[in-house]
Amino acid sequence: MLKKEKFINNLITKDNISFMFNHLLIIYSFFLTLDRDIRKSTFFVLIILFIIHPNFKKNILKAIKNPVIKSMLFLYILLIIGSINVENFSYAKEHLIRMKPLLYPIILYPLVQYKFIPRIITAFIFGMLINEMTSYGLFLKIVPETWSYANSYASTSPFSTNTVAYPYLLSITLGILFYKFLNNEFSYYWQKIILFIFLMLSTLNIFFNISRTGYILYFIIMFIVLLYTFKKNILKLFSAALIIFIVIFSLAFSFLPSVQYKVKETSIAIEKMSNNNFNSSLGYRIALWKLGYELFKSKPILGYGTGQDMLEAKKISIKKYPELTHIVVDLGKNIHNIYIQILVQIGLVGLIALFTIFFQMISYKQDDPNLKIILLILVSASMTYGMSSIWFHNIPAALFVSIGSFALVKKTAKEDILNKVTKYEIINYIVISILLFTITQLSHIKPNSF
């Protein structure tokens, strides 16, 4: 009995738990955009490691003291307060569950070690590489159509990532790689060539994926990276930005039917809306924003309560805009704009809290430029994506808070340097990943399937 207790005490040490936590984060980051079940399972283990860590209380305080995490926690507290005495609490509860990623940094940030960050980010990039290969496979129809988000070759968005969310993930990956291409030195020239090919394939991927938001995200993220790189040379900055915009968009519009289709569709939608016809993808969003704005004017300060936006939108459409009611009833799962959603739910107070998160991330003092640019990319991508979608749920939210938490970590004077990854470690990561994938797949098989 004494030997068993001694073994457990030796195992549950600060160094051992931190070691396991950081290596598990590499697996977590790899599956971040690939498999929801594995992501949830690994995160559950991370929570257990966080709880049994000897410095549990200190780690919580460390997280809460961070200004970015503090602002996320504040927004979530406002949402909890906003759920009190609402008309439909089930909607509020569902929304609070969706917004729970705001709490993830409390678990992730305190135990992440700076020396592991390159491996963690690289694992995320490799996960996105598999996403891209799958997307190309769907485009060429050489992989099963069930690998598509829509279970059809009509959509090249892979796995559980929809047509709007996938460009969000892809644009963040592109931004990280583009900065590395412009600023990092490479041991061998062929490494830069491979990175350039990856960038071109990612660019093509984002354009044959039919998404207006994706096209806008691409140019904004490219501009942000150029701005951060050439901020002392304005002429070089705008010259590079103009060349990228003209060349990329001209080539995409000339050779990709998907881009031509989306431009034409947008033009037709705008023409329809001028005649008060909102029956289009863009029109649905504009109609929902219109209803949201009307609701905001009625309760601008505190809003209608957490999760009540679509309930109230239905009411006001029936009362004042009957021609828009079918959009809310049949198509309106959410209001398709994070800012209007927050305004309707918890008012201007909530919107200020949301923008505080972005401000804290932008102004955060991070001496490592490779991590600082990630914070800027995340903010730029999320603010843009939030104009047409609700990104605080599912994969976009998990990506935002997870990669954001890693980018907050600062190098300490006492921290040692992590040796270059060995073949033995790579094999271990691959074996663990395969085991996790196999276990989750087997858990989905029903008994009568055999």
Residue 189 resides in a domain: yes
Do 409 and 371 touch, CB atoms closer than 8 A? yes
- Reported confidence tier of residue 9, pLDDT bands at 50, 70, 90: low
Give the model's pLDDT for residue 330: 66
Q: pTM for this structure?
A: 0.90
Mean per-residue pLDDT for 280-293? 84
Percentage with pLDDT > 90 across the chain:
37
Q: What is the pLDDT of residue 204?
A: 86
pLDDT in tens, 142-190: 998 888 888 887 788 887 777 778 889 999 999 999 999 988 777 778 8
Contacts of 418 (CB under 8 A, 6+ apart): 115, 116, 118, 119
> Quick one: which of 380, 72, 68, 349 has its CA closest to 221?
380
Confidence check: pLDDT of 296 > 60:
yes
- Name which residue leads in pLDDT, 224 or 444: 224
Rg (Cα) of the chain, in Å, rounded? 23
Please state the φ and ψ torsions of residue 158, each to the nearest 5 degrees: -80, 150
- Residue 448 scores a pLDDT above 50: no
- Evaluate whether 101 touches 400 at the Cβ level (below 8 Å): yes
> Once rounded to an integer, what is the mean pLDDT over residues 120-139?
92
Half-sphere exposure of 88 (CA within 13 A, CB side): 11
Q: 224 in a domain, yes or no?
A: yes
Residue 59, domain member (yes or no): no
pLDDT > 70? residue 400: yes
Instruction: Report the range of poorest mean pLDDT among 69-73, 123-127, 215-219.
Output: 215-219
pLDDT in tens, 247-260: 887 877 777 777 77
pLDDT of residue 4: 52
Q: Comparing C-alpha atoms, which of 53, 51, 28, 84 is closest to residue 401? A: 28
Is 288 a domain residue?
no
Work out the average pLDDT over 403-429.
82
Both tokens of 339, joined, read 């800012």
Check whether 81 has a pLDDT greater than 80: yes
Count CB-CB contacts under 10 A for residue 104. Answer: 21
Mean pLDDT of 30-38: 89
- Residue 392, pLDDT > 80, answer no
- Judged against a pLDDT cut of 50, whether residue 447 lies above it is answered with no
**Average model confidence (pLDDT) across the chain:** 85
Are the CB atoms for 326 and 291 separated by under 8 Å? no
Establish if 117 belongs to a structural domain: no
Is 154 a domain residue? no
Residues with Cβ < 8 Å from 108, sequence gap 6 or more?
Answer: 25, 46, 401, 402, 405, 406
| % pLDDT > 70, the chain | 92
Is a pLDDT exceeding 50 seen at residue 288?
yes
Q: Give the mean model confidence (pLDDT) for residues 46-57.
A: 92
What is the rounded distance in angstroms from the CA atom of residue 135 to the CA atom of residue 116? 29
> pLDDT by residue (tens digit) across 361-379?
999 999 999 999 999 999 9
Name the phi and psi angles at 120, rounded to 5: -65, -45
Contact 440, 42 (CB under 8 A): no
Q: Taken in order 410, 411, 416, 419, is the CA torsion positive or negative?
A: positive
Average pLDDT over residues 35-63: 91
Give CA–CA dist 315/158, Å, rounded. 36
pLDDT per residue as tens digits for the range 208-221: 877 788 888 988 99
- 439 has pLDDT over 80: no
Q: How many domains does the chain divide into? A: 1
Write out the residue range of the structural domain in which residue 211 sits.
Answer: 161-272
Please check the confidence at residue 135 and state whether its pLDDT lies above 60: yes
- How far apart, in Å, do the first and last CA atoms of the chain sit? 44
